[in-house]
Amino acid sequence: MTTDIPTLVNRLCYRYPSTLVDAVTEHEAGRRVVAVKNVTVNEEFFQGHFPGTPLLPAVLMLESWSQAAAILLLQRDDGAAAYVGDQVVAEAELLLGIVPDRTEIDSTALVHPNARIGQGTVIGPHATVGANVTIGDNCHVGASAVIDGWTTIGDETRIHPFASIGQIPQDLKFRGEPSTLVIGKRNIFREFVTIHRGTQGGGGVTSIGDRNVFMAYVHVAHDCQVGNDTIFGNMATLGGHVTVQDFANISAGSGVHQFCRVGRHAFVGGYSVVTKDALPYARTVGSRPARIFGVNTIGLMRRGVSADVVSKLKRTFRYLLQSKLNTTSALRRIEQDRTLACSEVTQLIEFVRTSQRGVILRRASRRAEEVLADE
């Protein structure tokens, strides 16, 4: 009796051109299967195997048997055999291993058939996953979360309920052109976070690195570039085309204007408004305008930066903020001071010199420093 061949063959993980089972003509569940692989003398492997005496290579026979055995789900321990007519021409005992599919998709979730979901990923109730989405292994998508667009999400990422990942940008120039969102590994997106994919005018890609934390209601606009190990407090917002470098901390309610940068190990205080580049290794706080409150000492120490480097950064900021030199002269003086030589100071100098919007160099008043310390 001929069985439902398409259904059986579709159970194989193999796809063209690697499929070596063309048909299943007999199938007794858990006991026996008869499969067919059609070949012709025009197959390229017959040209050298062997001239004048075409013979299917043994490695292809083994692969064909393995694929046929997979149809039985390894419920049978007997060997496999190949026939020409009624004559056995090859036989083997196969030892195969099964990797169970640990993916869990709630019955109420709407996951497009073309979406690619990694092993061990859990998708919760009423979540929506679009056709062009790729989700890595061991991820978790919470209830009613939406992931859409040309979006790639790395392994072990957690997306909490009602987050919206990969939607079209809030840019009036956007006309539906293909653009992408690329997210690395082990990120956390809490409730109601919104991350938008890129635009053609901004390079077409919004990218987020590894091990970042986005607390509730954070918004990351189109074409932003976020590094690794950053933390965004509740309701922090990035305008379009913003770059946030590694280990930066943007506190609750803060906003970063489009095209600005936030440097490495920078700390942006709560409810601040950043309209120029926020310096690396510094504490930037305030809105009228934002000011520099010295080196991000606590953050640097927590990240394992040595006391010697912190001291060099403090002396560097004195040149920039207290020396009464203009920025160009201050940078030149810093480079001439060999006691400040370290990679962190070099990075700070490069950050200032490559700024397109200018950097925040306004020093906080003594009274503001005292208020911040009291808090």
List the domain boundaries for the chain: 5-92, 104-304
Catalytic, 86? Answer: no
In tens, the pLDDT along 102-111 reads 899 999 999 9
What mean pLDDT do residues 84-112 have?
83
**For the domain 104-304, what is the CATH code?**
2.160.10.10
> Does residue 321 carry a pLDDT above 90?
yes
Active-site option among 160, 166, 209, 223: 223
In tens, the pLDDT along 187-225 reads 999 999 999 999 999 999 999 999 999 999 999 999 999
Distances (CA, A) of 226 to 171, 221, 264: 19, 11, 11
Going by pLDDT thresholds of 50, 70 and 90, the confidence category of residue 87 is confident
Distance (Å, whole) CA 275 – CA 296? 19
> Does residue 83 carry a pLDDT above 80?
no
Peptide bond into 50 cis (omega under 30): yes
Tell me which amino acid residue 128 is: T
Res 212: pLDDT:
98
In tens, the pLDDT along 15-29 reads 566 677 888 888 787
Res 75: pLDDT:
44
pTM: 0.76
> Does residue 368 carry a pLDDT above 60?
no
Catalytic, 223? Answer: yes
**107-112 contact pairs (CB < 8 A, 24+):** 109/141
Please indicate whether residue 138 or residue 9 has the higher confidence score (pLDDT): 138
Distances (CA, A) of 180 to 36, 144, 146: 42, 22, 15
Q: Which CATH superfamily is domain 5-92 in?
A: Hotdog Thioesterase (3.10.129.10)
Active-site option among 160, 219, 222, 241: 222
Mean pLDDT over each residue of the chain, to the nearest integer: 89
What mean pLDDT do residues 90-99 have?
74
CB atoms within 10 A of CB 140: 18
Res 1: pLDDT:
41
CA neighbours within 13 Å on the CB side: how many for 67?
Answer: 24
Nearest C-alpha neighbor of 362 from the set 280, 279, 302, 298? 279
> Does residue 273 carry a pLDDT above 60?
yes
- Report strand pairing: 237-238 vs 219-220: parallel
Please indicate whether residue 278 or residue 176 has the higher confidence score (pLDDT): 278
Active-site option among 202, 227, 240, 269: 240
Q: Is the dihedral of CA 114, 96, 28, 82 positive or negative?
A: positive
In angstroms, what is the C-alpha Rg of the chain?
30
Q: Write out the two tokens for 57.
A: 């290579």
Percent residues over pLDDT 70 in the chain = 89
> Does residue 74 carry a pLDDT above 50?
no
**Beta partners for residue 213, in sequence order:** 188, 231
Decide if 5-92 and 104-304 have a common fold: no
Res 12: pLDDT:
59
> Does residue 158 carry a pLDDT above 90?
yes
Catalytic, 210? Answer: no
